[in-house]
């Protein structure tokens, strides 16, 4: 049976980065070399991405900071819900069903961006990889 891997993105205050890296290594055996850190250029947080393996249920509420299941395309980090909302906005289709797989995103427009939904609004922030 193949082990499922999920990319997680955790939003951590700048002053808690080392603490969170230690937590990942001690509690989840995630080596620091497998964690990528991005600076959110639009606020005072960092986004730490790392893979989580396992078949067990993953309770994101047990994480200390806000954590989401994320996806990456190049240096762009996004959630599926945010991608679906972006497609709806770009396509102009607000009513009815959109066949999302038929719509192609111009990822060049979203280089080094964080795309997510917050309070039902699409948020697109600039990010910069700072580690490793």
Query: Which value, to the nearest 10 degrees, does the dihedral of the CA atoms of residues 73, 34, 6, 56 take?
Result: 180
Residue 65 burial (CB count, 10 A): 14
- pLDDT over threshold 60, residue 1: no
Whole-structure pTM value: 0.84
Highest mean pLDDT among 6-10, 19-23, 97-101, 112-116: 112-116
pLDDT reported for residue 64: 65
Higher pLDDT, 80 or 5: 80
In the chain, what are the domain boundaries? 5-131
Mean pLDDT of the region 30-50: 92
For tokens 């080392």, name the residue: 18
Residue 73 burial (CB count, 10 A): 14
């Amino acid at each position: 049976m193949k082990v499922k891997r999920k990319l997680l993105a955790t939003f951590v205050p700048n002053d808690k980065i080392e603490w969170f890296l230690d937590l990942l290594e001690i509690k989840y055996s995630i080596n620091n070399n497998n964690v990528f850190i991005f600076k959110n250029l639009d606020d005072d947080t960092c986004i730490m991405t790392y893979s989580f393996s396992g078949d067990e249920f993953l309770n994101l509420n047990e994480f200390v900071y806000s954590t989401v299941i994320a996806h990456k395309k190049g240096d762009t980090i996004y959630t599926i819900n945010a991608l679906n909302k972006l497609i709806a906005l770009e396509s102009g289709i607000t009513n009815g069903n959109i066949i999302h797989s038929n719509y192609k995103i111009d990822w060049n427009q979203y280089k080094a961006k964080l795309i997510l939904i917050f309070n039902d609004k699409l948020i697109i922030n600039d990010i910069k990889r700072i580690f490793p």
